[in-house]
Chain A
Amino acid sequence: MTSTTVVQLFVLLLAGFVGYQSIFRVPPLLHTPLMAATNALSGISLVASLVLAGSQRGTLATVLGTIAVACATANVVGGFLITDRMLAMFKRAGAPTGTSGRNLSKAEPARSTAELAP
């Protein structure tokens, strides 16, 4: 095992630990956006695909690389767009933005007293 591999294991350990802490705090409310988000992030494999497609290591490598670039780009573009689209839908009651928010804010004062009741 080379020293590089050992450093990589350290990176894996620390990323895993930090990741575990953060992901555990994501509420079930946002589990679907979380999955879409990690999908978008996994598009980072694009950096490896770009190298494969662009460094002229022969026809096969270029073909494989080009397909990989297409797949990874689709995840990056589609992943960030859909995560944002989803997150934009999560609104608090009475939030001033959006169409549905406006309807609700009218009914808000009447309801908030009921909410406080045990």
Chain B
Amino acid sequence: MNETFMQLAYLLAAFLFLVALRDLSRPESARRGMRLAAFGMAVAIAATLLEAGIVSYRWLTVGAVVGAAAGYPLGMWVPMTAMPQRIALSHAFGALATTLVGVGEYLRPSGVGSLTRSHVAALGLEVLFGGLTVTGSLMAFGKLQEILPGRPLVFRFQNAINIALLTAGAASLVWLVAMPSEAAAFKAMLVIALAVGVLIVLPIGGADMPVVISLLNSYAGVAAVATGFAINNNILIIVGALDGLSGFILSVVMSKAMNRSFANVLFGAFGAAPAGAVAGSGIGGEMVETTAEAAALRLAYAERVIMVPGYGLAVSQAQHQIKELGDLIEKRGGDVRYAIHPVAGRMPGHMNVLLAEAGVPYDKLVEMDEINEKFSGADVAVVVGANDVVNPAARTNPASPIYGMPILKVSEAKSVLALKRGKGKGFSGVENDLFIEPKTTMLFGDAKQSLLSLIAEVKTA
């Protein structure tokens, strides 16, 4: 009876979680859905505390109090710009929790020796994926928080070592399944998983982080599914499947937007930048520099303006300034839209959150496919800290390493104003013909500073 009660509580929670995911398809219903999910979570936890045969509440209370004390600031105080590292940290927490459950389950006194093969296989997968997600996410956190150097760290035989380690990890899993009571195999696997997590994130650079974070999300989900199998808990299987799929779908979306293959994502072999810089289409030409004054004049009298915020905007945290500039143009009668490339920002959807926080209404944040039809009608497209995602070579030059990458068709706008730090190349090291087109003028300098001077000039225009 008690067990049935608990399972019914889990069933309710699972239902509410699915409702929450469905409600996330629209901004209007998303908050309500998440509240239902929170209620479902509370019901599941309460039922577990009442019915799961828990003997002592002392230590779990300690854990819950510590966790809640850590969770509150993680929920309420973290700025939106720090969202990627915050998410990475919570992947690490989630994976650590599942990994520890797996270790505890394997090492329980009645555990070793009485475990069946399928049970041990599930525990093994759980610890393997959980372990690598823990260290991988901590590495990603360190890089995003700039505790660790953000540039890719590469050394000789890196790939060979990674493959050898992965093989060793798989071998210990096989060993464990063959001999379920062999604790050494279990420990070896845990250590290997932790090492693999560090090694796979080492060679990843900052701009590749959206893929890494999504992929780690997916791995955390796999670990949760395995936990569900190991301890015979359906809700963990369900949530793990949702988590894993969501991470997987996001990594596929991200990898497509970054022009990386599906297999590339699956095996996590990202981060290796295309070898060497490749010249542009060879047209040649000079970038035409402009002043804030001249650029502002053009913006002030434009009827339709499309803002194209990129990675550089997120880095210089100029989302409030771009919004202020947009508001000024609108006040003068212009129409302003924001074109959001899927990999703008530092994690999937990050740019939308940054601009929403700055106060840009979400119906002005337009996805790539939709906004691409509108560029030809735009008087000015303002590119702020974006490079590869607006490079026409992705559509026109088959020799370019970014050929095939979906881009924002900025070059179709009547004129382009590009705010750029310097004359350097984009992340992929490819020349950008957009910047030397006759209709394009450049405003060099830090994105925030350039936007501030544009704001000042538009006010007086």
Chain A 8-42 near chain B by CB (<8 Å), digits 1 or 0: 10011001101110111111111111111111111
What's the minimum C-beta distance from B370 to chain A, rounded to whole angstroms? 11
Per-residue CB contact flags for chain A residues 28-65 toward chain B (1 = under 8 Å, else 0) read: 11111111111111111111111111111110111011
Of the listed residues B94, B108, B303, the one surrounded by the most CB atoms of chain A closer than 10 A to its CB is B94
Number of interface residues of A (CB under 8 A): 96
Q: Which of A29, A83, A110, A118 contacts B349 (CB 8 A)?
A: A29
A55 to chain B, nearest CB (A): 6
Residue ID in chain B nearest A93 by CB atoms = B361
* Tier of interface size on chain B: 35 or more
Q: Which residues of B contact A39 (CB under 8 A)?
A: 87, 90-91, 94, 217, 243
Q: When A65-B63, A70-B66, A91-B361 are in contact, do A58 and B27 touch as well, CB less than 8 Å?
A: no
Give chain B nearest CB distance to A17 CB in angstroms: 9
- Do A54 and B55 have beta carbons less than 8 Å apart? yes
- Residues of chain B lying within 8 A (CB to CB) of residue A30: 24-25, 27, 30, 349, 352
Q: Complex: how many Å from CA A53 to CA B54?
A: 8
Which of B100, B237, B342, B349: most chain A Cβ within 10 A? B100
Q: Do B330 and A73 have beta carbons less than 8 Å apart?
A: no
Contact indicator B60/A69 (Cβ below 8 Å) = yes
Interchain Cβ contacts within 8 Å, total number: 382
B265 at the interface (CB under 8 A from A): no
Decide: A33 and B24 in contact? CB cutoff 8 A: yes
Which of A5, A27, A60, A100 is in CB contact (< 8 Å) with B229?
Answer: A5
Which residue of chain B has the shortest Cβ distance to A31 in the bound complex?
B349
| Known contacts A64-B104, A71-B67; is-contact A16 B245 (Cβ 8 Å) | yes
Q: Is the interface of A mostly helix, strand, loop or mixed?
A: helix
Given A35-B217, A61-B104: A25 and B90 within 8 A (CB)?
no
A69 touches B362 (CB 8 A): no
Q: Which residues of A contact B (CB under 8 A)?
A: 1-2, 4-5, 8, 11-12, 15-16, 18-20, 22-58, 60-62, 64-95, 99-101, 103-104, 107, 110-111, 114-115, 117-118
B→A interface (CB under 8 Å): 10, 13-14, 17-18, 20-22, 24-27, 30-31, 34-35, 37-38, 41, 44-45, 48-49, 52-57, 59-60, 62-64, 66-68, 70-76, 78, 80, 83, 86-87, 90-91, 93-94, 96-98, 100-101, 103-105, 107-109, 116, 118, 213-214, 217, 220-221, 224-225, 227-229, 231-243, 245-247, 249-250, 253, 303-304, 327, 330-331, 333-335, 340, 342, 347-350, 352-353, 356-357, 359, 361-365, 367, 377
Sample 9 A-B pairs with CB under 8 A, ordered by A number. Answer: A20-B245, A31-B253, A38-B243, A60-B107, A69-B63, A72-B67, A77-B72, A78-B72, A79-B90
* 10 more A-B residue pairs beyond the given contacts A38-B221, A54-B57, with a C-beta to C-beta distance below 8 A: A8-B232, A26-B25, A30-B352, A39-B91, A50-B52, A56-B55, A81-B74, A91-B362, A92-B363, A104-B359
